Chain A
């Protein structure tokens, strides 16, 4: 293992994935450092979600290597559940557990996985609700929340396991426009606190503001990657230029 690989928080090497005839990821390699915030952009169907979900094994790659925190998760012997405890994930559709209250949603994993006892988990949950601005919603059913509130609870739920890495798959796409700001603010604070984050989003303004690096996906390949300045202001790849002209004028 080279020096560069051991330092990176996430190391992806020549990963491929096909659904039948559909070759979704083609020889993707990417290294992400501790504390880095990486934003992934690209047209619909380009493979962003598939890539993100591969980082915590919700999808399995056909071949290639994925190392997270030093664990080779493409290896069969690795206990994927242990690795997942360190990787939080936030979904486009929130996926809050409908059979629990807000507080129970946040407490479930730490208690069930023996990370904390009930009292500690509850204390932690209330602190997290405070940071996402929802402390007064602790005991309501999740179905009574607005979309923006649900997504903030989902972020709190992922943070309750105290992960080192957070994955976000279009966290604001299902929200009404007036809700988007609250969620992005929570994410911005998280980025400022030093969390390693990988975010798939169509919010270009937000990407410019928080990203250390922007990665452009197209046809299952990383076509270009670099600082927000480079990617947004001096795009070299033709397809990226096309993509940006579309989304910026929309």
Chain B
């Protein structure tokens, strides 16, 4: 058992390293930067119908990179994760429709302001709200970390509304459309673009942005001066030769279908599947390798914790109990953010999202596994250990030869249950930008606004995988019972 465990571990680490390496192969001579964005933010950042990242921000960046001769790896994630990744040094730059504020200037160095935007507010299409005064007692939906939040909070007292927060725009809009919230504040061009694409909202101040301000490209304060200089030089050049105006016009002037796919593709499940089969497959693949790696590593770690939990040494038992208590107690997402965004600043090393996600899963699922493994060993009759010890077998040998095999058999149903939970928990890691099945769904919905159909597809894929996993587990269980 010990040997197979070791070999497995090595194999997994090797695989992970390979995955990491293939993602990072670039021309050696050009500098390569890691740029984060929030790809649920059309018209600035989103996925087009071919699942390519596009938008005003992305075209500006792509053009500048080409002219200034640098390359970059784009990491889409939630807006908060995107900015925090840069401020913590996990990534080099962020372009995500980010307003330049004094607060942010304390943490970021900004490039030349590239787009003048302002705050807009919108209500449901047939709403009878006419002015800010009508918001009294109503709920306003806001996207976390945006300047819409700052503005809404600054007038909240005056107009007496409640606020609710969302991480992605599409869920937010649907909340207003479904009347859970009655209005939203956000960046005017973003809301306008959504309405143009069929979102059933009404913009209340289309001509007069509130608190007009500028969007900027940000790097960690005091770092990456070269990247910033390149960005500014490139930006000056696209501004001068008119490329910039063309890009903006392309997104704000064009009909929506150019980017979001045609109606036929978006209005049926088959159409959505056909148009996005590559994206769904990639997402599914990420979900599967994340799940399988996590299951294997968490099981090894959990069994170790369980064995520590029944140790003869009270200190080791206490350590196991503490580890289990801690990591069972932490919400998965908090743990993920802590490892991905919090830890790199302290240890001074970047942690790739996939690795951070995997560590998160292993710690969390491993703690649950440890708890039931310890319980399983406790459930083995004490007489078994006494008989083994009375023959002269050491504690370790008695565990390996007698207690562990019997305990594992008791635990098989718990393991199967934990595997299924692990698969479902991978979806939470979409928050740190791992492009797995759930994040894939988010990106597609933010483009085509077909929440019901896309999420139904995603749900069915999860159910199919869970069914397969259950079958496989039951087959293994039957074999271990024989």
Binding site for B on A (CB under 8 A): 56, 58, 81-85, 87-89, 91, 93, 95-99, 108-109, 112-113, 154, 157-158, 161
B387 and A91 within 8 A (CB): yes
Give how many B residues have a beta carbon under 8 Å from the other chain's beta carbons: 18
Residues of A within 8 A of B381 (CB): 95
A99 and B405 within 8 A (CB): yes
Complex Cα spacing A157 to B390, Å: 11
- Among A91, A109, A157, the one with the most B-chain Cβ atoms within 10 Å of its Cβ is A109
B386 and A58 within 8 A (CB): yes
Complex Cα spacing A139 to B425, Å: 45
Complex Cα spacing A89 to B388, Å: 10
B402 and A112 within 8 A (CB): no
Q: How many A-B residue pairs have CB under 8 A?
A: 59
Main secondary structure of the interface of B (DSSP, over half): helix
Residues of A within 8 A of B239 (CB): none
Q: Which of B33-41, B391-399, B448-456 lies at the interface?
A: B391-399
B402 and A99 within 8 A (CB): yes
A157 and B386 within 8 A (CB): no
A58 and B390 within 8 A (CB): yes
Shortest CB distance A119–B (Å)? 19
| B263 CB–A CB distance under 8 Å | no
Complex Cα spacing A85 to B391, Å: 6
Also in contact, A97 and B402, with CB within 8 A (given A81-B394, A91-B383, A112-B397): yes
In-complex Cβ contact of B391 among A98, A99, A158 (8 A):
A158
Chain B residue at smallest Cβ distance from A89: B390
In-complex Cβ contact of A161 among B387, B389, B392 (8 A):
B392
| B401 CB–A CB distance under 8 Å | yes
Residues of B within 8 A of A81 (CB): 392-394
B383 and A85 within 8 A (CB): no
Shortest CB distance A76–B (Å)? 15
Q: Which of B49-66 contact A (CB under 8 A)?
A: none
- Among B384, B390, B405, the one with the most A-chain Cβ atoms within 10 Å of its Cβ is B390
Chain A residue at smallest Cβ distance from B391: A109
Shortest CB distance A109–B (Å)? 4
Also in contact, A95 and B383, with CB within 8 A (given A56-B390, A58-B390): yes
B392 and A93 within 8 A (CB): no
| Extra inter-chain contacts (4) besides given A81-B393, A112-B393, CB under 8 Å | A84-B390, A97-B401, A109-B391, A158-B391
B409 and A99 within 8 A (CB): yes
In-complex Cβ contact of B384 among A84, A87, A97 (8 A):
A97
| B470 CB–A CB distance under 8 Å | no
| B406 CB–A CB distance under 8 Å | yes
Complex Cα spacing A56 to B405, Å: 25
Also in contact, A113 and B392, with CB within 8 A (given A97-B402, A98-B384, A108-B401): yes
Complex Cα spacing A161 to B389, Å: 13
Complex Cα spacing A97 to B384, Å: 6
Complex Cα spacing A45 to B81, Å: 66
Top 10 A-B residue pairs of the complex, sorted by shortest distance between their CB atoms: A85-B392, A95-B387, A95-B383, A109-B391, A89-B390, A84-B392, A99-B405, A81-B392, A99-B406, A97-B402
Complex Cα spacing A158 to B386, Å: 13
Complex Cα spacing A35 to B194, Å: 95
Residues of B within 8 A of A99 (CB): 402, 405-406, 409
- Among A88, A95, A96, the one with the most B-chain Cβ atoms within 10 Å of its Cβ is A95
Complex Cα spacing A84 to B387, Å: 11
Residues of B within 8 A of A85 (CB): 391-392
Chain A residue at smallest Cβ distance from B381: A95
Q: Which of B349-402 contact A (CB under 8 A)?
A: 381, 383-384, 386-394, 397, 401-402
Residues of A within 8 A of B392 (CB): 81-85, 109, 113, 161
Shortest CB distance A51–B (Å)? 15
Complex Cα spacing A158 to B405, Å: 21
A-B contact pairs, 9 of them (CB 8 A): A84-B390, A84-B392, A89-B390, A95-B383, A97-B387, A97-B402, A99-B405, A112-B397, A161-B391
